[in-house]
Amino acid sequence: DTQLTQSPSSVSASVGDSVTLTCRASQDINDWLAWYQQKQGKAPKLLIFLGSSLQSGVPSRFSGSRSGTNFTLTISSLQPEDFATYYCQQANRFPYTFGQGTKLEIK
């Protein structure tokens, strides 16, 4: 299976800060990576697909990029509603796998 390793596992930041979350794939997955936001007790919400494409309706402060097998999700100017857990997911090959998540907390 393709392993996805997210770092950090948790991070604290303040409203207005910019944060970058990382997802490293254990093998080449091309651009087959999506990012999701999950709030407590809710289903995940799609933010980014194909590495860097912003899902319709998602604020432009969210952006994704890729360098080799390393993917980043950057959230600029954090808003109160952005504090949540973020997961990456690969779809390059079966089985689809998710990272273990990064919890973004308010400082």
Partner 1 sequence: QVQLQESGPGLVKASQTLTLTCTVSGDSLNSGSYYWSWIRQPAGKGLEWIGRIYAGGSTNFNPSLRSRISMSVDMSNNQFSLKLDSVTAADTAVYYCAREVGGDCYFDSWGQGALVTVSS
Do the strands 10-13 and 102-106 form a parallel or antiparallel pair, or are they unpaired?
parallel
User: Would you put residue 86 in left (φ > 0), alpha (ψ -120 to 50) or beta?
Assistant: beta
Residue 48 bridge partners (DSSP) = 35, 54
Per the structure block, which two tokens stand in for 17? Answer: 């800060």
Cβ closer to partner 1: 13 or 46? Answer: 46
Site residues (CB under 8 A) for partner 1, limited to 16-35: 32, 34
Q: Does 87 bind partner 1 (CB under 8 A)?
A: yes
**Of the candidates 18, 20, 50, 59, which one interacts with partner 1 according to CB under 8 A?**
50
* Chain contacts with partner 1 (rule: CB under 8 A): 32, 34, 36, 42-46, 49-50, 55, 87, 89, 91, 94-101
